[in-house]
Amino acid sequence: MRILVNSREMKACDSCTIEHFGVPSLVLMERAALAVVEELLKEPVKRDRCLVVCGLGNNGGDGLAVARLLYQKGSQVTVLWGMKREKATPETLKQYEILCRYGIPVVDTLPEEAFDVIVDAMFGIGLSRPIEGACRKLIEALNERAGYKVAVDIPSGVCADTGQVLGCAFRADLTVTFAYEKVGLLLAPGALYCGRVAAADIGIDENSWQKRRPTAFAPQKGDISRLPRRQVFSNKGSYGRVLVIAGRRNMAGAAYFSGKGAAMTGCGLVKILTTEDNRVILQELFPEAILETWEEQRKEKFLETVAWADVVVAGPGLGTDTAIGMMLKTLLLECDKPLILDADALNLMAREPELWDLRKRKQEEADSQGAPEGKADSPEAYAGAEDGQRACLGPVIVTPHLGEMARLTGSSIPELKEDLPGAALAFAKAQGVICVLKDARTVTALPEGTFYINTSGNNGMATAGAGDVLTGVIASLLAQGAAPKEAAWLGVYLHGLAGDAAAERKGRYSMTASDLIEGIAEITRKEAEHE
């Protein structure tokens, strides 16, 4: 798992390293500059003539040190530093003094000659307002120039916290960031300006967090090993039961993909509750599933069906009529199992937001009665007390895409895109749910304030049914015993890896949700081979 940081966290770690541990700021600056040069040397590009563009802050100081190190590697270096130099930080002024002693030319206007490499060290992670005026014109001019572009820590103009472009931004081929990746480097549109991102160790590590803890993470290679283990002595009951409530008439595919996604991820039993119209279709497509139809169910029978399951999925292709609304209300107020709400279930919740408040009040009543002693965070707290009485409602995971999130929150899609983690975190905290906000970089937010940004997957997954598969994957992990928060982010990660496997096998243009199902099998097979 990779730790991600926002600008405030990074500044706090930097300050702690300097003030608490006594590591001089200039030492960190030298290590940062060396990391930039080392990463640049890995690239198969000419570096005979280099331009380094610097600002007044310590990011500019990093750039001045980069210029000196490139000069010492044999490059012909020019430094563009045209702002009011007397306002530079002490460390940056010191780097400037050193640079002058080496006789490296410093100019205050953009030279007309061509450069092999252009290094951006203008604005670091502290930028919080749009770039305007002469600085904007300079960045636009640099973007039009030929040459290999390198950003120091973050491309100037990209918000470190949200990935938004503040007015304009430097377009890099390589970004060398320090200590930890910044959240904004992973999110659109900022991620499109970064090129290859390398996180370099400059002497800031977990010790610099002191009593604070990271709040943002990104799954990485190796995290797939957290998949629930298969036991030698086991049976279908050992791997959990998933109930999928999905699929109105002409929407059998949504029920199929959710159910099949759950089965292919390893759960032991899948039951689909759907309309009678889908019976024959689903029995032919997915004979392994148990099938029930809601036409034959009353509330008591419905609760028996829910009680059968370890995890319940509701929403894919479900419709939003009155009967479905009553079914959803029953689930929200009486289901003590983990519940995943997707698609039409979220549209119903958007139409009747008071259901959130009803659920929270019921949960508060259950909490006031107390979970079994010593088991507040255990499965028993959800499944029932030792005396057989249900202790509380189960956890809820919601999986909205941006359109559904807009309906749930009343915000526009452009507003949500301004800060995806912020939007997901706010909703998770307000409703007490785990929020999987689906986008090209899906954000999984927990109500306590932690979030995960997923980087697996590709644009071939922008296809009908892909989200339905995801609900099944997450449900399957829950049914096999994964904790809700881990099932959410790990399910998203596995789903993306399955998409990458499908893209490699079939190509992104031709991918369908069925290919994701095959991709899940491929990824889980490879993982099983490493057990």
Q: Which residue has the higher pLDDT, 463 or 390?
A: 463
Measured CA to CA, the distance from residue 416 to residue 3 in angstroms comes to: 23
What's the confidence (pLDDT) of residue 363?
Answer: 83
Is residue 179 scored above 90 in pLDDT?
yes
Is residue 415 scored above 90 in pLDDT?
yes
What's the confidence (pLDDT) of residue 358?
Answer: 92
- pLDDT band at 389, cuts 50/70/90? very low
Measured CA to CA, the distance from residue 90 to residue 57 in angstroms comes to: 9
CATH fold match for the domains 2-217 and 236-529:
no
Give the list of residues 6+ apart from residue 264 with CB closer than 8 angstroms, or none: 472, 476, 517, 520, 521, 524
Query: Residue 136 CB: number of other CB atoms within 10 A?
Result: 16
Helix H, strand E, coil C: the string for 216-235 is EEECCCCHHHHCCCCCCCCC
Residue 230 phi, psi (nearest 5): -90, 135
Is residue 245 scored above 90 in pLDDT?
yes
Is residue 142 scored above 60 in pLDDT?
yes
Is 363:432 a contact under the CB 8 Å cutoff? yes
Is residue 148 scored above 60 in pLDDT?
yes
Q: What is the pLDDT of residues 372-387, one digit of tens each?
A: 544 444 433 433 333 3
- Among candidates 88, 23, 14, which has minimal Cα distance to 58? 88
Measured CA to CA, the distance from residue 302 to residue 324 in angstroms comes to: 12
Task: Using DSSP, state whether 41 is helix, strand or coil.
Answer: helix
Q: What is the pLDDT of residues 439-496, one digit of tens each?
A: 999 999 999 999 999 999 999 999 999 999 999 999 999 999 999 999 999 999 999 9
Q: What is the DSSP letter of 438?
A: B
Q: What is the DSSP letter of 206?
A: G
What's the confidence (pLDDT) of residue 506?
Answer: 95
- pLDDT band at 285, cuts 50/70/90? very high
Question: Rounded to whole angstroms, what are the CA distances from 378 to 21, 360, 383?
Answer: 39, 20, 9
- Considering the entire predicted model, what is its pTM? 0.93
What's the confidence (pLDDT) of residue 344?
Answer: 97
Angle at 457 between CA 452 and CA 460, to 5 degrees: 145
Measured CA to CA, the distance from residue 516 to residue 7 in angstroms comes to: 36
Task: Using DSSP, state whether 199 is helix, strand or coil.
Answer: strand
The dotted CATH code for 2-217 is 3.40.50.10260
Average pLDDT over residues 169-181: 98
162-165 contacts, C-beta under 8 A, 24 or more apart: 162/187, 162/190, 162/418, 162/419, 162/420, 162/421, 162/422, 163/187, 163/188, 163/189, 163/190, 163/191, 164/189, 164/190, 164/418, 164/419, 165/189, 165/190, 165/193
What's the confidence (pLDDT) of residue 390?
Answer: 42
Find tokens 């929020």 and name the residue.
435
Query: Residue 382 CB: number of other CB atoms within 10 A?
Result: 21
Measured CA to CA, the distance from residue 268 to residue 134 in angstroms comes to: 63
What's the confidence (pLDDT) of residue 85?
Answer: 81
Find tokens 């071939």 and name the residue.
460
Fold of 236-529: UDP-N-acetylmuramoyl-L-alanine:D-glutamate ligase (3.40.1190)
- Among candidates 414, 425, 421, which has minimal Cα distance to 160? 421
Q: Is 39 exposed, middle or buried (0-12, 13-18, 19+ CB in 10 A)?
A: middle
What's the confidence (pLDDT) of residue 365?
Answer: 80
Domain range summary for the chain, segments of one domain joined by +: 2-217, 236-529
Average pLDDT over residues 177-190: 98
- pLDDT band at 272, cuts 50/70/90? very high
What's the confidence (pLDDT) of residue 82?
Answer: 77
The per-residue pLDDT of the chain, averaged, comes to 93
Average pLDDT over residues 20-30: 97
Give the list of residues 6+ apart from residue 22 with CB closer than 8 angstroms, or none: none
Q: What is the pLDDT of residues 29-53, one digit of tens each?
A: 999 999 999 999 999 999 999 999 9
Query: Residue 176 CB: number of other CB atoms within 10 A?
Result: 26
* Phi and psi based region of residue 247 (left: phi greater than 0; alpha: psi -120 to 50; beta: remaining): left
- Among candidates 104, 100, 102, 103, which has minimal Cα distance to 119? 104
Is residue 11 scored above 60 in pLDDT?
yes
What's the confidence (pLDDT) of residue 102?
Answer: 97
Task: Give me 213's structure tokens.
Answer: 């803890």
Bridge-based pairing of strands 443-445 and 241-245 is unpaired
Helix H, strand E, coil C: the string for 110-134 is CCCCCCCEEEEECCCCCCCCCCCHH
Query: Residue 323 CB: number of other CB atoms within 10 A?
Result: 10
What's the confidence (pLDDT) of residue 370?
Answer: 60
Find tokens 């059968």 and name the residue.
308
What's the confidence (pLDDT) of residue 531?
Answer: 63
Average pLDDT over residues 330-336: 93
Average pLDDT over residues 416-420: 97
Helix H, strand E, coil C: the string for 493-511 is HHHHHHHHHHHHHHCCCCC
Find tokens 């690239």 and name the residue.
43
Q: Percentage of residues in the chain with pLDDT exceeding 90?
A: 89
Q: What is the pLDDT of residues 61-93, one digit of tens each?
A: 999 999 999 999 999 999 999 778 888 999 999
What's the confidence (pLDDT) of residue 458?
Answer: 98
Is 344:315 a contact under the CB 8 Å cutoff? yes
Query: Residue 200 CB: number of other CB atoms within 10 A?
Result: 16
Q: Percentage of residues in the chain with pLDDT exceeding 70?
A: 95
Is the previous residue joined to 189 through a cis bond, with omega within 30 degrees of 0? yes
Find residue 3's DSSP bridge partners. Answer: 217
- pLDDT band at 297, cuts 50/70/90? confident
Task: Give me 381's structure tokens.
Answer: 């707290």
